[in-house]
Structure 1
Amino acid sequence: MRTYDSRHRLKHIALAGLVIWGIVLVRLFQVQIISHSSYESQALAQHNRRVPLTGIRGTIYDRNGEILAQDIRTSSVCAYPPQVRDKKATARKLSSILGISYEKLLAKLKQDAGYVSIASKISPEAEAGLRDAKLSGIDLIDDARRIYPLGRAGCHVVGLVNTDGKGTEGIEAELNSSLEGTPGWFILSHDAQGKDVVTAKSLRKQPRTGVNVVLTIDSRYQTIAAASLRRAIAENRAIGGTILMVNPSTGEILAMVSEPSFDPAERRTWKKGALRNRAVTDQYEPGSTFKLITLAAILEEQIADSSSIFYAENGVMDFGKFRIRDTSKHGWLTLTQAFAYSSNIVAAKLGIELGAEMFYKYCRAFNFGATTGIELPGEASGRLRSPSAWSERSLPTMAMGQEISVTCLQLAMAYAAIGNDGVLMRPIIINRIEDSNGRILKEWTPRRARRVLSSSTCRTIRALLATVVAEGTGRNAEVDWCRIGGKTGTAQKFNPKTRSYSLFVGSFVGLVPAENTRIVCLVVLDEPAEEHLGALVAAPAFKEVIETVSKCSRPPLAPDFAKIPFAVENDALLPVPDVRLLGEREAAKHLRSSGFRAHVRGIGTRVFCQYPPPGVLAKAGAKVQLEMAESVRSQEVDETIPDLRGLSLREALRSLSTAAVVPRIKGSGIVVAQHPPAGSRIRPGQVCVLRCAPPGNLYRYSAR
């Protein structure tokens, strides 16, 4: 019995032993086979540490190869708290070198961790100080820091990166995935004493450099525009502004600056709204600069021509439920004069003449109400409602630049289409993307959006824009080395404090030169405090920019851009100037300066008639026939305007010449109407508008 019990116990012990060994074997199998990789990685983690290696971000260049943004090698600071002998003394020393608070540094050094980050992208001076200090447990790791040579001048176009090296504004954000390099790493091992050791066999993944980007921007133009804009804002006490420069034939953006701006290197100085690129994100009512679209539609549809006459209602016109006013009182004006004097009343009449659908069609053709597709973040589309949403006053007020919102880029591209003979281009700000060896990976080429106007219409418009600068509201933009064409604009802006339209936006858009245009430049000043007219605040800034740009060496648009002559190519068409009532020598001199030759007929001291008539487009170098007559006006001569109705145009002109009255002519043939009427007293510089018609059409013309 006793033997049986012993055997039974032995069996149980053996069975228990087998179970235990089975459990051990299963566990060994789990550890060695199933979970081998997991335990291996845990063991490596205790003996190894992965240290990140920052990839070099691609460089951004301007069109001439000048650096706009670049990564430079720098260092970041890390600590191994177990190896720091005197934490308080080390924190104190780090604080004096890095400018970080002692308490913050001490808290990091007291962390129960093998590794902590102290500071990133430190200055060269701080790096040198740390190397000299030789603090135990403190190490320097290779890093990269982004620099922006243009500073504020290029901030909105180039953009910036955040502390993690990610692009957040401008081109840096738009092409972040292409610019940023791929980060790398290496494995840092610990020896028996716990010290870090890097061996030849240490695992390492090298970082990869990002691609390089070449922009269409010219850093010289960018710097010039930025300086002029800041000066104009300071002089006029404006809250902000924008300057844009475009190559009209390609759509390339040559300069784009906005204020307020920011310094990418001084984040603590940034003001609210400074990161906003106003050239593409802000929408505003353009005012009189938008009259270009109304004028373009009228000329393209042949509703009127440059010599057509319109009555400007002496400065005020009642449209029924609302009134429109001009800044100056005018009576009869040709279309050329109305555009030069920026008549709101004539613009409103032209809009009504066009009709809502036709006006809307041209606004859409010029791409208003839609984004341009430029490669910059945050572009706005502007505001252009469909005609079904318009009120009774919408068409006349939109024709003069109200009730519509545009971006600076949209308006500049519209004027660029005029300089490009009616072809609207898509704006380009990126020229190409290259790898680190200079191999082109992607290239942006000029892209046509559509043809919006005929070449002949654009020639007429450029002539009218030149008249604005030479004789109208744009005189402050005139330069002596080049014939400028442009348009001023002054728009009202709602003031939330007074709940009225008591604030203003002043602007000027110019074509340089008016013919064979190479640059379109737009200047906009937001809320100037004293003078608010675009002619007084924006036109002078435009002139300053163009004058300075003309002195640049190696201009990208033409080898002799700084020496653009006043005269244009022989096959170009120019508007014939008005030389009536001038003396023979003075008239001939004026014609020569405008690119024409004088052919004198008759005997007399003053020109009483000319052919081709004023304002007509003729080839440069063409002869202008001048009919001369004597001026016999004296004390005995009647001081009132004669009755000219029924006379031939030549007879009427001779009578006006004798009375020293300047004629303005509409049509040809027999005089059917005149303003002022016969018997009106002649004032110095008196103008008389003559409406003429062929003999067979007298009733149709007199009925108008």
Structure 2
Amino acid sequence: MSISDKTTSRMKFRLNFVIFGALLLAAVYVTYQMFVVSVRESEKYQALAYSQQFRATTITANRGAIYDQNGQVLAQSFTVYTVFVDPTTFRERDQGETTTLTHELADGSEVETEYDRENEIVTTLSESLSIAPEKIRELLGKSNAYQVVAKEVEKETALSIIDWMSELGISSVGITPTAKRYYPQNDLAANVIGHQGYGRDGEYGGIYGLEAYYDDYLTGVDGRILTARDATGAEIQYDRKLSYDAEDGASLYTNIDTTIQYYVEKALETANRSNNPKDRSCAIVMNAKTGAIYAMATEPDYDPNYPADIYDEATAAILSGLETVLSEEDYLARKQEAWGKQWTNKAISSLYFPGSVFKVITGSAAIEENAVSLNDTFYCNGATTVDGIPFRCWTTHGGHGTQNFVEAMTNSCNPAFVKIGQQLGAKLFSQYFDAFGLTQKTGIDLPAEATSIYAPYERMTPVTLASSSFGQTNKITPIQMICAYAAVVNGGNLVTPYIVDRIVDCDGNVIKKFTPTIKRQVISEETSQIMRQTLETVVTVNSGSNVYIKGYHIGGKSGTSQKLDENPEGNTYVSSYCAFYPAEDPEIIMLVMVDEPQNGLYYGSAVAAPVVAEVFTEILPYLGYYAEYTDEELENLEVTVPDVEGAELETAEATLKSLSLEYEVIGEGSTVVQQVPSRGNSMPRGCSVILYTEEDYEEQWVEVPDISGYSLERANKKLSSLGLNLRPLGGAAHKSGAECSGVTNYEVGSVVQKGTIIEAYFLINDETG
């Protein structure tokens, strides 16, 4: 063998070896890829194949609704759809193409129908969505792949379009569902209901209020419609398609009563306008025995339909001024801070010093432990000193002198309650503070309930005990305070407050029912009865307080606390009032808290009590509680102005006299042609009705005066001199020292007819009641 032959053989061997090695590597690679596709990443490729073979259309589940106790809708959802076209797909698969479908007739025969796909798309979308055909053709001619045809399309219309798409195999038209949340009552109970949005985890859902707390129940399960697609991506026309129905979320039926909620918010708004609180106000109406919440409000509030709007005018003005001054990042931070404050439920998330409202806790514990009796006396000369620290009474007139327990509560005397706290002792005080639920959250079914800040027994000094006894030192939430107060007057039972009564699935089945929960009995029924009687005396003593309502036996206590942790000078205040009805067997309890009133008044009895009075005046008759008047109250009841228009003058005069109403006749006629005020108005006995007896009479007009700060007698005299009638409002209107806080039904300076009824609120500006 020659050298050249040996070389050729070696080269062939090497070549064969390289080829064999390459084939072996290729085989290994293919085997590995088959392993990857079939085993390791099988789910990924199965999903990819699935997406190529099938088309899935999501049917969005509706979020469950939220109702009040009477079935009024507070929040509801409905699915709307966006219809779009894909011009690129249209040009590839539909433009200039036809589709032939076979339909079976009634006699069993079959007929073929040919459809022009382009005309079919234009005609169907135009007729279904009430859009001009030219607009549809314009969108189909665009270069972009996604063109919106219509938004917020109703479900029935969307589903009919989906069926049409499936029948003709149309893939250039698409539909995406969107669930739209709607709050038909707008801002009513907004801070209780909450709203939806994107949370910190990036997920969309409830982020405040009931929407957040019960999000898992409210959220439904989306459905799907699956249709097969051919190799080109077009839908295969066949009768059977997979359909998975959406399962709507469960609905909440709450204890909220929209009527009560409305009156609470209306009264709270009035208080805000009058007192301009720096840090908002809140109110709670609760069943004193069960803990069911009938109303809960924070003012200013917001409209959950548009939660990003800033509704507090002062805050909105500040943000408007900062928009061009701050960086985009800093401005967004300030706006987020404003949103957080606006959406927060003050009744459960804000801590405050309860002030003298807390005296019912100290007092009931002391009575229960026999640390004091109703006959014990307490002397007040205006101040008392503990370890060198003076504790002053609110009165500036030398103190209350000698007083018993009921009088000390009625006078809201701080030195007296310092003494009561000392006689109870730090250990028992701390035990009852805990027993009344003030060291723990109440467990209300709402998110973001705050935890109280308090001095535990181990750190309680004589000075701390003294200030704690009348509601300073310890910061609690309004919901804690009303629950503790309810325990004082309902027989001693500490209840868990709750908003939702039951949860109902989409088929109407009750899947969860909530019942009243009594945590413990804190005081005895005997002590509770003593406290009920004492707190009714607080309201009725000396002819009434600012929360007194004729014909109703109400118990209550005011509170005025200083925000010493924020302002050591002590000139920033929180005004509050807690009242219950009926006094002898409480069913309804209400707490009002106004945080830092700015317009001069700050005592709880002057700022918060009128809110309670206004609400109780409306809701007690609504709830079926009717006034039962004493003989004295009957004598002072208002009368309803009768209809005497068209009556003979003598008859009209006799009718008015029988109701103890005065009258003034204008004209020379013998028949009444007009009266002022008109029939149906309420006014006190002794007021005057103007009787016009001539058709061409000249009406008498006068200007409404400013009577702010006037006593009842002085205001009556001023208005009478102008021919106007005074209708005093407020339980303390006839009490010595009551002053007018302003006219409520007309603007000062406006012009009204002579004889018009002027309504004005009178109140006592002190800490009693």
Structure 1 residues 218 and 543, CA, compared in 2 at 3 Å: closer, same or farther? Answer: same
3-state secondary structure, aligned to 2:303? coil
- After TM superposition, the structure 1 stretch with the greater mean CA deviation from structure 2, 226-235 or 265-274, is 265-274
2:625 is matched with 562
Equivalent in 469, 474, 491 of residue 404 of structure 1: 474
Structure 1 residues 434 and 41, CA, compared in 2 at 3 Å: closer, same or farther? Answer: closer
1:251 is matched with 291
3-state secondary structure, aligned to 1:285? coil
Letter paired with 2:434: R
Structure 1 residues 203 and 30, CA, compared in 2 at 3 Å: closer, same or farther? Answer: farther
Give, in whole Å, the separation in 2 of the partners of 1:348 and 1:473.
28
Letter paired with 1:439: N
1:466 is matched with 536
- How far did residue 432 of structure 1 move? 1.4
- How far did residue 165 of structure 1 move? 4.7
Equivalent in 357, 374, 391 of residue 289 of structure 1: 357
Listed one character per residue, the Cα deviations across residues 596-628 of structure 1 (whole Å, up to 9, x for unaligned) are: xxxxxxxxxxxxxxxxxxxxxxxxxxxxxxxxx
- Whether the 8 Å CA contact 2:386–2:462 is kept in 1: the answer is no
- How far did residue 412 of structure 1 move? 0.6
- How far did residue 505 of structure 1 move? 0.8
Listed one character per residue, the Cα deviations across residues 428-461 of structure 1 (whole Å, up to 9, x for unaligned) are: 2221122222222121111111111111111111
2:484 is matched with 414
Equivalent in 181, 185, 194 of residue 159 of structure 1: 194
The answer as to 2:289 corresponding to 1:220 is no
- Whether the 8 Å CA contact 2:552–2:627 is kept in 1: the answer is yes
Listed one character per residue, the Cα deviations across residues 393-436 of structure 1 (whole Å, up to 9, x for unaligned) are: 11111111100111111111112113311111121222112222
- How far did residue 317 of structure 1 move? 2.5
2:757 is matched with none
Give, in whole Å, the separation in 2 of the partners of 1:281 and 1:38.
47
Give, in whole Å, the separation in 1 of the partners of 2:359 and 2:251.
42
The answer as to 2:340 corresponding to 1:301 is no
- How far did residue 337 of structure 1 move? 1.2
Give, in whole Å, the separation in 2 of the partners of 1:309 and 1:499.
32
C-alpha RMSD of the superposition: 4.0
- How far did residue 76 of structure 1 move? 3.3
Letter paired with 2:455: R
The answer as to 2:529 corresponding to 1:529 is no
Equivalent in 557, 560, 563 of residue 493 of structure 1: 563
Give, in whole Å, the separation in 1 of the partners of 2:550 and 2:153.
49
Letter paired with 1:317: T
- How far did residue 490 of structure 1 move? 0.6
Give, in whole Å, the separation in 1 of the partners of 2:32 and 2:423.
93
- How far did residue 65 of structure 1 move? 1.9
1:630 is matched with none
- How far did residue 308 of structure 1 move? 2.5
Letter paired with 2:75: A
- How far did residue 365 of structure 1 move? 1.1
1:374 is matched with 444
Structure 1 residues 290 and 37, CA, compared in 2 at 3 Å: closer, same or farther? Answer: closer
Aligned pairs (5 A) from 1:79-94: 80=86, 82-83=88-89
Structure 1 residues 25 and 427, CA, compared in 2 at 3 Å: closer, same or farther? Answer: closer
1:360 is matched with 430
- Whether the 8 Å CA contact 1:342–1:473 is kept in 2: the answer is no
1:515 is matched with 584
3-state secondary structure, aligned to 1:152? coil
- Whether the 8 Å CA contact 2:275–2:607 is kept in 1: the answer is yes
Q: Which runs of 5+ in 1 are unaligned?
A: 86-96, 98-105, 556-560, 568-588, 594-704
2:667 is matched with none
Give, in whole Å, the separation in 2 of the partners of 1:324 and 1:23.
94
- After TM superposition, the structure 1 stretch with the greater mean CA deviation from structure 2, 141-150 or 536-545, is 141-150
Letter paired with 2:187: R
1:75 is matched with 81
TM-score, normalization: structure 2? 0.62
Give, in whole Å, the separation in 2 of the partners of 1:66 and 1:54.
24
2:420 is matched with 350
Listed one character per residue, the Cα deviations across residues 644-701 of structure 1 (whole Å, up to 9, x for unaligned) are: xxxxxxxxxxxxxxxxxxxxxxxxxxxxxxxxxxxxxxxxxxxxxxxxxxxxxxxxxx
Give, in whole Å, the separation in 2 of the partners of 1:508 and 1:539.
6
3-state secondary structure, aligned to 1:501? coil
2:177 is matched with 142
Letter paired with 1:507: S
Structure 1 residues 80 and 196, CA, compared in 2 at 3 Å: closer, same or farther? Answer: farther
- Whether the 8 Å CA contact 1:483–1:566 is kept in 2: the answer is no
The answer as to 2:308 corresponding to 1:268 is yes
- How far did residue 189 of structure 1 move? 5.7
- Whether the 8 Å CA contact 2:376–2:404 is kept in 1: the answer is yes
1:585 is matched with none
The answer as to 2:64 corresponding to 1:64 is no
- How far did residue 78 of structure 1 move? 4.8
Structure 1 residues 198 and 183, CA, compared in 2 at 3 Å: closer, same or farther? Answer: farther
Letter paired with 1:563: Y
- Whether the 8 Å CA contact 1:53–1:143 is kept in 2: the answer is no
Aligned pairs (5 A) from 1:568-587: none
- How far did residue 137 of structure 1 move? 6.1
TM-score, normalization: structure 1? 0.68
- Whether the 8 Å CA contact 1:263–1:270 is kept in 2: the answer is no
Q: How many equivalent pairs are there?
A: 535
The answer as to 2:246 corresponding to 1:177 is no
Give, in whole Å, the separation in 1 of the partners of 2:553 and 2:55.
69
1:538 is matched with 608
Listed one character per residue, the Cα deviations across residues 163-213 of structure 1 (whole Å, up to 9, x for unaligned) are: 665111111111111110012333466667766678544444322111122
3-state secondary structure, aligned to 1:270? coil
- How far did residue 476 of structure 1 move? 0.8
1:311 is matched with 379
Structure 1 residues 28 and 210, CA, compared in 2 at 3 Å: closer, same or farther? Answer: same
Structure 1 residues 494 and 115, CA, compared in 2 at 3 Å: closer, same or farther? Answer: farther
Listed one character per residue, the Cα deviations across residues 234-264 of structure 1 (whole Å, up to 9, x for unaligned) are: 1111131111011111111111111232211
Equivalent in 563, 571, 576 of residue 502 of structure 1: 571
3-state secondary structure, aligned to 1:548? helix
- Whether the 8 Å CA contact 1:488–1:534 is kept in 2: the answer is yes
Letter paired with 1:455: E
3-state secondary structure, aligned to 2:575? strand
2:272 is matched with 233
Give, in whole Å, the separation in 1 of the partners of 2:568 and 2:143.
58
Structure 1 residues 119 and 251, CA, compared in 2 at 3 Å: closer, same or farther? Answer: farther
- Whether the 8 Å CA contact 1:121–1:143 is kept in 2: the answer is no
- How far did residue 465 of structure 1 move? 0.5
Give, in whole Å, the separation in 2 of the partners of 1:26 and 1:344.
89
- Whether the 8 Å CA contact 2:364–2:488 is kept in 1: the answer is no
Give, in whole Å, the separation in 2 of the partners of 1:540 and 1:481.
17
Letter paired with 2:192: V
Listed one character per residue, the Cα deviations across residues 541-560 of structure 1 (whole Å, up to 9, x for unaligned) are: 101111111242xx3xxxxx
- Whether the 8 Å CA contact 1:340–1:472 is kept in 2: the answer is no
